[in-house]
Structure 1
Amino acid sequence: MASEEPVYDPSRTGSWLICSTCGTQFPTSDAQAVKTCFICDDPRQFTPPTGQSFTTLDAVRSSHRNVFYPLPSGPATSSAGQDPDFVSIVTEPKFAIGQRAVLVKTPNGNVLWDCVTLLDEETIERITGLGGLKAIVISHPHYYSAHLEWARAFQCPVYLADEDREWTTQSSSYQSFITEAELDLPVAGESAGVRVLKLGGHFPGSLVLLYKGRLLVADTLITTPAGLGSWEANALGEARERPKGLNSYGFMWSIPNMIPLPPAEMERMWAILNKYSFVSSHGAFVKTDIFGKDGSEVKRRVLESMQIQIRNMGYGDHAMLKESLD
């Protein structure tokens, strides 16, 4: 990294302002300099009824902690255990949006998928014990949080979509902007089998990450309650098939304000995603994990969810409705 890059120093940045609603860090302690969060003023996000407010990393460190949850290796209804290659990191009690970061273990070193605002000594020690970080990849601007605190602490690059560069609140030589639609992510300078796909939609550069058949989707694909439902047994303990016509994912320009993506955007997203195979998907929050019974089920549910949304938006003759995995 460039020699002028500041070293990680929590005493230097601990008083910097952090948006209480989205968790984004601004490089100043001056409340007169930052009176509103431009990310929350965007129509994809929101400012709560109580109005715009800010806190600091020092304050969050005094009241919150990060908890580590191994990712399940299969659905909760099965006897599946934990997948040691994926670990969710969640701030408790919930802070800001409440998303999880996911530590992805590869033979070349660890990759952090998405980010949370809180970084403290306990978290640094825990991640260092797991092998540290070689790279950070963030899905979209709502999760930019305090990513440069993390990058400086672990001295690793943080990958962001080039299309979403305008949403950064700080510039740094640690930031690497992805221009490709499909990237074989370099981990410690070499390929490790980690693919980053720029699907767009929610933001122009919204990303997903694929590793070992697990698709980490954040908010690029919204995991729905119907997608998480289990029909392994009814009230009498009788197994049955998942009812037809249920979606598993939503495709939204704004999640909190419920503004859907147009069919053309879903079609473009599918053209990229259709090239790949995956056996599970993992959303922005803990317990938003969908597992398939075979190598095509989750992918088929993505396509079916797109078709359900397109059809119910009134596009009954759209070309996407003729798509299939057969």
Structure 2
Amino acid sequence: MEYPEPYDQSLSSRLLLCTACGTQFPATDRQQIKTCHICDDVRQYVPRSGQSFTTLQAICSSSQGHRNQFEVYEAEERLVFVKTVPQVGIGQRCIIVRTPQGNVLWDCITLLDEATIQRIKDMGGLRAIVISHPHFYTTHVQWARAFACPVYVAAEDASWTTMPSAHRKLITETETDIFGTKVIKMGGHFPGSLVLLWQGRLLIADTILTTPSGLGDWSVNALGEDTTHVPPPPDRNTFTFQWSIPNMIPLSADELLRMWTVLQPYTFTSTHGGFMGQDIEDEGVKGRVLRSMQIQCRYMGGENHPLMKVTL
């Protein structure tokens, strides 16, 4: 498919970026853009230092030496994690899913430079980009233009985008097949929040938020002693389900039950969150999603909620 929007690196590098969340705006004049609607939303926040803007040009020329790191996932070499160091914006990663039909980029990061473009082109380019929710929209139009591919976002969340683009495609269905991957609209964090299922691996971003407890290892203690005979603490969650993550506003029990109803038909044995290190390999991880929902429901006073009676 041909797209009429060429990638203009010179212009892209001068467009304003929100320093806090990395969202790009279609303006180069700081008098035109004074606030970021992503950060102004009550799910997010404006830093104590106030709202500020930068550009890709400023980031790339910074003495901090910002660059994108590529990491092939040890347990599945067809997943490649990409993260910017030092951190830019929220600090999320994006994931290249190397399917037989072509590479699909799950989520987006702000920094797009020539080194990144060439590295991904050497891997075969991108057939499509899919973004889980508006906090990770960042510079997605520039990515789509650079790789001449479509970028998919949920129709419910399209109002959060900052510039029109013929590359952008709206996901309207609960389940959408995109070049060998299955994109599932769960909602919750945002009305259109997405997860992506591929080869039994569920890429969850912030739709299902991985907790430190979920990543904890109780098999060895701080002294290096084997503690495999000691069970993990009861009611230990693996995930949390938040309307606002930084402001710690949880989703309701009713919304959790609706989300589980969407996810229940699917089989997966690993989850991959929005940040580096948030990867869980466990045949029983689907059960851990349900138990985490029920723990949250219980401690919000929902002991008698229908969700508490759900089983796998």
TM-score, with structure 1 as normaliser:
0.92
Kindly provide the CA deviation profile for residues 28-70 of structure 1, in whole angstroms up to 9, marking residues without a partner as x: 1011111000110000000000000000011112231000011
Residues of 2 paired with 1:88 and 1:25: CA distance? Answer: 22
Indicate the RMSD between aligned Cα atoms, in angstroms. Answer: 1.1
| Matched AA of 1:84 | E
**SS at 2:73 equivalent:** strand
TM superposition shift of 1:244: 2.4
Q: How many residue pairs align between the two structures?
A: 306
Q: Which structure 2 residues correspond to residues 146-161 of structure 1 after superposition, within 5 A? A: 146-161=139-154
Residues of 2 paired with 1:48 and 1:92: CA distance? Answer: 20
Kindly provide the CA deviation profile for residues 232-278 of structure 1, in whole angstroms up to 9, marking residues without a partner as x: 23453131333321000000000000000001111111001111011
Residues of 2 paired with 1:254 and 1:30: CA distance? Answer: 31
Residues of 2 paired with 1:255 and 1:55: CA distance? Answer: 24
What's the counterpart of residue 270 of structure 2?
280
TM superposition shift of 1:2: 6.7
Q: Establish whether residue 247 from structure 1 lines up as the match of residue 237 from structure 2.
A: yes
**SS at 1:84 equivalent:** coil
TM superposition shift of 1:98: 0.2
What's the counterpart of residue 67 of structure 1?
69
Residues of 2 paired with 1:72 and 1:215: CA distance? Answer: 16
Residues of 1 paired with 2:205 and 2:227: CA distance? Answer: 34
The answer to whether the 8 Å contact 1:2/1:173 transfers is no
TM superposition shift of 1:6: 2.8
What's the counterpart of residue 202 of structure 2?
215
| Matched AA of 1:105 | R
Q: Establish whether residue 312 from structure 1 lines up as the match of residue 305 from structure 2.
A: no
Q: Which structure 2 residues correspond to residues 68-87 of structure 1 after superposition, within 5 A? A: 68-73=70-75, 83-87=76-80
Residues of 2 paired with 1:178 and 1:223: CA distance? Answer: 25
What's the counterpart of residue 21 of structure 1?
20
**SS at 1:183 equivalent:** strand
TM superposition shift of 1:84: 1.1
**SS at 2:103 equivalent:** strand
**1:164 alignment partner, one of 152, 157, 163:** 157
Q: Which moved more, 1:240-249 or 1:156-165?
A: 240-249
Q: Establish whether residue 32 from structure 1 lines up as the match of residue 21 from structure 2.
A: no
Q: Which moved more, 1:224-233 or 1:197-206?
A: 224-233
**SS at 2:308 equivalent:** helix
Residues of 2 paired with 1:88 and 1:2: CA distance? Answer: 28
Which consecutive unaligned segments of at least 5 residues does structure 1 have? 74-82
Same amino acid, percent of matched pairs: 55
What's the counterpart of residue 80 of structure 1?
none
Residues of 2 paired with 1:223 and 1:69: CA distance? Answer: 20
| Matched AA of 1:175 | R
The answer to whether the 8 Å contact 2:5/2:166 transfers is no
4+ residue stretches of structure 1 with deviation over 4 A?
none
Residues of 1 paired with 2:14 and 2:135: CA distance? Answer: 21
Q: Establish whether residue 173 from structure 1 lines up as the match of residue 160 from structure 2.
A: no
TM superposition shift of 1:156: 0.2
Kindly provide the CA deviation profile for residues 284-309 of structure 1, in whole angstroms up to 9, marking residues without a partner as x: 100011111x3xx1000000000000
Residues of 2 paired with 1:42 and 1:116: CA distance? Answer: 20
The answer to whether the 8 Å contact 1:224/1:248 transfers is yes
**SS at 1:180 equivalent:** coil
Residues of 1 paired with 2:227 and 2:84: CA distance? Answer: 38
Residues of 2 paired with 1:273 and 1:105: CA distance? Answer: 23
**SS at 2:58 equivalent:** helix
